[in-house]
Amino acid sequence: MVVERFLARLRELDGELGQVEATHTVPARPADSEPYPDWLRDDLRAAVEGRGVPSLYRHQRRAADQLHGGKDVVVATPTASGKSLCYHLPVLDQLLRDRDSRALYLFPTKALSRDQTAELEEILVASGNDDLVVAVYDGDTPPATRRALRESGSLVITNPHMLHCGILPNHTKWQGLFQGLKYVVVDELHTLSGVYGSNVANVLRRLRRICAHYGSEPVFCACSATISNPGEHARRLLERDVEVIDTDGSARGPKHFVFLNPPLVSELSGMRVPAIDAARHLAGELLETDLQTILFTRTRTTLEVLLKYTRDEADRRHVDQERIAGYRGGYLPDLRRSIERGLAAGKVTTVVSTSALELGVDIGSLDVCILVGYPGTVSSTFQRAGRVGRRNRASVVIMVGRSFAMDQFLLQNPGYLFDQPREAVSIDPDNPIILTNHVKCSAFELPFTRDEGFGDAEGVEEVLDFLADDLRLLVREGDRYHFTGLTFPADGVSLNAADADNVVIQDGDTGRVLAEVDRASAIVEVYEGAIYGHQGEQYQVERFDHANRRAYVTRADVDYYTEADTETEVRLLHEDESHDFGGYRAHLGEVHVSTLAKAYKKIRFYTRENVGIGEISLPPEEFETEACMLAISSELAAEVGLERGAEGGGLRGLASLVQGLVPLFVRVDPGDVAVTSTLLHPHYDCPVLTIYDRIPNGVGLSERIYRKHREILAAARGQVTRCACRTGCPSCIGPSADQGVRGKSLALQVLEGMLG
């Protein structure tokens, strides 16, 4: 079935699946091509031409020329625009002309590393240069391959974590790599944001320091999805003056965007059919076509429930189950690669994924993308949309809205996606804790001199003195600092958060390891009694060994899944800054956050009935972080009636609305920030909205919100004003049953009072 016929079918179903609120078509565009450069070896050109690439897109040619000429480059073009050829050509040309040269590729995921290795091997075999040693160095690499890479690897493909804890601390074993390093490629630059990006920036500082020690100065190439500040972000991350290439010359087929709002269940309450149910019906329609489809969900639980529903639809429609797969982080590598191969070969025609397939893994050319809820950022939306439609093929992207404010805002204002600039990506590599951790790691790798510096960081001398005098991890000899600690410092520094311990999920009957889950998520996913979904099948958690990070599960034939309820307490530690706005006062400071999972609900498939509850007995997850606190004046609180405890629902609903709107104004993932409400704050003695970084120690998100929070409040007022419900619904402050019949009017009064 061609895409246009499916669009016609979608129009026939309008009303049954919901209401199409808006459509938008990005027109087809021909390729803007240029010939291969003269400097490229003939055997390489012939090999790439043999892969069906008769010429280069303009951005590929420009990037390749700049890199070949020794310029640092950032390529910021959309998904499927052929960014890998931008660096493959100059890198392979250099490695083949000078066999002492070396190159290093950094990818954020193992899947991307394996995918790029396969592409490189095909080019080298076709060009007759298969003796060049190109291989992946990660946790799955066999010892023999690791030795070969250290001794004679021309191109090492790895990830920031392995560079951080595997290669840099052992640089003496990698002398050939560092002495001959000519190129460093950093892919998916837009994912290097927040705490992760701040850590990776410091890993790159350590890399450049070791390169200088061995006498090399590599050229850097960074690649990114379309963001508003690729040059600024690359310069901050790489600390290099980069050439920005952001004009896309690739061919593009027409892409149709459809904004679908599921049917209203109740006009009074504003409740709608869950987005997951509308997506299930769409997937069912597509199962009977030859269109290859990807459905993106926001959470792992939603993925597993939707995967079960899709498999049930396949049974009902007599469709082969082998055509359906789920894909997410936590699945073991062999399973993920099997699914990738099935997609590329066309054997898997429907895949349900989290953000794990958002990045540029080669999974072939898909036709339909269904977004089950807004992904959280504009960049992520277009990354996912970019997974469908290649070259001149038409494609469809359907955003199925949830009842939440953020989704409803976009369904009513789709121009936000197409007319507004992409989000900016931010990092803070000089965050004191992050910087101190990496100076410590770098001192282990090479002694520091007092005036040496560490990239562009300021205050390095104070950090060195702190490590020497306070922590006694360094010893000072004249103007040199040597590491003296007994432990391997990089092992104790996570790039993602304060604690990188994953929980292993093991089948208690067979002993087979099914998957992994990060520690912070474990308290709401693998508590005893939880139903854990895996490839559409249900397992029950029989025992969770919290201390040893292992959950034991057994297959369960149940008609429900589980959801945990958590309780979060935020306590102020100290205040750094404040500003009075009349109806309220904004504060910026540091807080202590404690999250406790106390109970869980059993939710029946399809009907969503609550069929039981259970207790959770696990210790809380605790950390300190930054927060922006909006303290409502006592006068405004008395005026709107917030001093009455029964009216707290309106404030709680306002907090929920603000949390949903934050990602539209500040470049964060929705899970990076949380908002809580307190009717009588113990420190400020008045009602308070607290917006905090959900990242230990914080990385400046709350400070950016502190600067821009009035724009967010104005958008919240607009959303409440425009919403047609009478007393509150999920499209604004949440259902009136949760927030009280006066919740909506109270929230609007608070917003009007705060904004004047």
Query: Measured between alpha carbons, how far is 522 from 550 in angstroms, rounded to an integer?
Result: 10
Higher pLDDT, 508 or 363: 508
Query: Measured between alpha carbons, how far is 476 from 483 in angstroms, rounded to an integer?
Result: 9
Q: How confident is the model at residue 707 (pLDDT cuts 50, 70, 90)?
A: very high
Quote the distance between the C-alpha of residue 144 and its chain's center. Answer: 33
What pTM value is reported for the model?
0.79
At 679-693, the pLDDT tens digits run 989 999 999 999 998
Query: Measured between alpha carbons, how far is 431 from 323 in angstroms, rounded to an integer?
Result: 47
Nearest to 352 by CA among 326, 389, 323, 372: 326
Amino acid present at 526:
V
Work out the number of other CB atoms within 10 angstroms of the CB of residue 19. 16
Q: Identify whether the C-beta of residue 133 lies closer than 8 Å to the C-beta of residue 154.
A: yes
At 626-643, the pLDDT tens digits run 999 999 999 999 998 886
Q: DSSP labels for 242-265?
A: PEEE------B--EEEEEEEPPEE
Strand partners, 350: 293, 324
Q: Identify whether the C-beta of residue 205 lies closer than 8 Å to the C-beta of residue 168.
A: no
At 288-300, the pLDDT tens digits run 898 999 999 988 8
At 526-582, the pLDDT tens digits run 999 999 988 888 999 999 988 888 999 999 999 999 999 988 899 999 999 999 999
The pLDDT of residue 738 is 64
- Which residues lie below 8 Å from residue 369, measured CB to CB, with a gap of 6+? 293, 294, 295, 296, 384, 385, 387, 388, 395, 396, 397, 398
- Angle, helices 300-316 vs 275-287, to 10°: value is 40
Query: Measured between alpha carbons, how far is 33 from 54 in angstroms, rounded to an integer?
Result: 9
Q: Identify whether the C-beta of residue 508 lies closer than 8 Å to the C-beta of residue 543.
A: yes
Q: Identify whether the C-beta of residue 641 lies closer than 8 Å to the C-beta of residue 647.
A: yes
Q: Which residue has the tokens 């895949």?
A: 351
Quote the distance between the C-alpha of residue 91 and its chain's center. Answer: 28
Q: Which residue has the tokens 């958002």?
A: 358
The pLDDT of residue 198 is 87
At 64-110, the pLDDT tens digits run 999 999 999 999 998 878 899 999 999 999 999 999 999 999 998 77
Q: Which residue has the tokens 């050939």?
A: 176
Nearest to 24 by CA among 326, 385, 309, 322: 385
Provide the 3-class DSSP secondary structure of residue 594: strand
Work out the number of other CB atoms within 10 angstroms of the CB of residue 374. 27
At 426-475, the pLDDT tens digits run 778 887 878 999 999 999 999 999 889 999 999 999 999 999 999 899 99
The pLDDT of residue 630 is 97
Lowest mean pLDDT: which of 316-320, 326-330, 614-618?
326-330
Work out the number of other CB atoms within 10 angstroms of the CB of residue 694. 20
Provide the 3-class DSSP secondary structure of residue 538: strand
